[in-house]
Amino acid sequence: MTDVTAEILLFEGFDELDAIGPYEVLKNGRAAGAALETRLVTLEDADAEFVTASHELRVEPDGTLGEPDLLVVPGGGWTSADGGVRTVVDDGAIPEAVDKRFAGGATVASVCTGAMILAEAGLLEGRPATTHHDALADLGDSAGNVVEERVVDDGDVLTAGGVTAGIDLALWLLEREFGAEVAEAVETEMEHERRGEVFG
């Protein structure tokens, strides 16, 4: 059986936990029996060896964005004047790349204000979606159907609320794709209890 490929797309100013939380969940999922390969990637070869996150954690990516089965887009920086998601949306290259992977058949998931990147890519039009509470109004202006839930599953597009909701999102993806036993094993390993029901 071929492994499912998951890539988490990093950019300057991403929120650490938005990316690293799901990364750890998905990696633990593999240890629990999921046929899943997870990588941290950038859109293209970075000028520097590391990507600097919003709280100044420096992360060395595994490579550049490929053609994953699952693409996870973190948030970070939408509510600040510069950097992070705000810069990514203004630049347009990452939203375009996300749309291209989606059109190619990838399931796309966002954490926190990563939803604003999905909105810019046109993936949320007419869909239920959520984001960090500070950006719900902006998401409504961009995409319309805002749902104030922790995790929203609309099939090939999923969104999660702020920061730690990415852990619940990744656990739900493990359950959806590989079964409840795998997700529960990871929950136990990480001593994490999911909050709320998944919308969708």
Q: 46-58 b/e with 16+ CB inside 10 Å = b?
A: beeeebbbbeeee
Tell me which DSSP letter residue 62 carries.
Answer: S
Please tell me the distance from the alpha carbon of residue 26 to that of residue 163, in angstroms, as a whole number. 16
Please tell me the distance from the alpha carbon of residue 141 to that of residue 90, in angstroms, as a whole number. 16
Known catalytic residues are 112
Please tell me the distance from the alpha carbon of residue 79 to that of residue 84, in angstroms, as a whole number. 9
Q: Which residues contact 200 (CB under 8 A, 6 or more apart)?
A: 128, 152, 153, 154, 155, 158
Q: How many CB atoms lie within 10 A of CB 175?
A: 19
For residue 25, what are its two tokens? 């969940």
